[in-house]
Amino acid sequence: MTRLSRRSYSIDAPTLAQRLLGATLVRVADNGVRLAGRIVETEAYCGPEDQAAHSYKARRTERTEPMFGVGGTSYVYFTYGMHHCMNIVAGRLDEPVAVLLRALEPTEGLEEMRTNRRPRRDGQPKPDDDLCSGPAKLCQAMGIDRLMTGLDMTTHDRLWVEPRARAPRPDQIVTTTRVGIDNAGDWVDAPLRWYLRGSPHVSVRDPEAERRA
C-alpha cells in the first residue's frame, strides 16, 4: 500500500488539485470496511488573497486551524447545519491553502456507501453516480466528519490518498470556475475547479468547458 508523500502535497493548491485527479482516496471505516474512490473533481482555495477561501485575510480560528498545517493535513468542516466537506491541505506550514474534494468515482465498499448515503424517499438505493458526486455526498458515503479534521494523511491509518497509476491526458482535464461561490469579488470567476472530462460522477458538469478541453 503506497500513499502520497509529504513532498507531493507540499505544492501550491492549483497544482495539487490537478495532480489529485485520478488518485484514490481511501477511508477505513470504523467497522473496518475499506471504502475507496477515484478523485474526479477538485477545487483549489488559495489562501489569504482568495476571497472565497475560509482562510481569506489569514482568518485563523479553531475551525480553520488545520488549513495552516503542513501539506497532507485533512481539513473537514461542517456547514448548512447538516453537511461536511473535506479538503486536503497543500503548500507549506502556515500557508493556509487547500484543495476541496468535490467528487469521487466509488471503487471499493459500495455496499457500505449505499448504507451511509440516505436512501431515497421510495426506499430505493441511490445509483452509483449519486453516491459521491458532491463534496458533502462523498463525506457522507465515506463516513468522514469533523472528527477527522486535522489528521496527517501521510501517516494516518484510516484516511490517506494512494497515487494514480498514470496521469490523465491533459485534454481529459476540464478547467472551470468553482461551484457555490458568489460573494467573492474577482475570485468568483477564477478558473480553480478541475474535473475528469465526461465522468458521470462529477457534481456539476460544464458542457462549454468540456468542448474547449
Partner DNA sequence: ATGACGATTTACT
Partner DNA sequence: GTAAATCGTCATA
Task: Report the nearest approach of DNA to the CB of residue 171 (Å).
Answer: 26
Distance of CA 11 to the CA centre of its chain: 16
Nearer to DNA, 79 or 167 (CB): 79
Task: Please count the residues of this chain forming the interface with DNA, following the rule CB under 7 A.
Answer: 41
Assign 142 to helix, strand or coil. helix
Dihedral angle of Cα 181, 184, 186, 189, to the nearest 10 degrees: 0
Choosing from 64, 73, 116, 154, the residue that interacts with DNA (CB under 7 A) is 64
Contact 9, 151 (CB under 8 A): no
Strand partners, 105: 38
Nearer to DNA, 23 or 101 (CB): 101
Measured CA distances, 14 to 11, 17, 198, 208 (Å): 9, 5, 21, 21
Q: Does 130 bind DNA (CB under 7 A)?
A: yes
Choosing from 113, 136, 142, 148, the residue that interacts with DNA (CB under 7 A) is 136
Choosing from 52, 142, 151, 159, the residue that interacts with DNA (CB under 7 A) is 52
Task: Report the nearest approach of DNA to the CB of residue 165 (Å).
Answer: 27
The interface with DNA within residues 65-84 (CB under 7 A) comprises 67, 75, 77-83
Q: Does 43 bind DNA (CB under 7 A)?
A: yes
Choosing from 3, 92, 114, 146, the residue that interacts with DNA (CB under 7 A) is 146
Task: Report the nearest approach of DNA to the CB of residue 28 (Å).
Answer: 22
Q: Does 120 bind DNA (CB under 7 A)?
A: yes
Rounded distance, CA 185 to CA 193, Å? 17
Q: Residue length, the chain?
A: 213
Rounded distance, CA 147 to CA 152, Å? 13
Contact 30, 15 (CB under 8 A): no
Give residue 20's identity as a one-letter amino acid code.
L
Q: Residue 13: which H helix or E strand, with range?
A: helix 13-20
Buried b (16+ CB within 10 A) or exposed e, 176-185: bebeebeeee
Choosing from 53, 70, 104, 153, the residue that interacts with DNA (CB under 7 A) is 53
Q: Which stretch binds DNA (CB under 7 A): 3-11, 151-159, 178-186, 191-199?
A: 178-186
- Which residue bears the cell 495552516? 68
Q: Does 166 bind DNA (CB under 7 A)?
A: no
User: Which residues here bind DNA, judged by CB under 7 A?
Assistant: 43, 45, 52-55, 59, 61-64, 67, 75, 77-83, 85, 87, 98, 100, 117-118, 120-121, 126, 130, 134-137, 146, 178-181, 183, 203
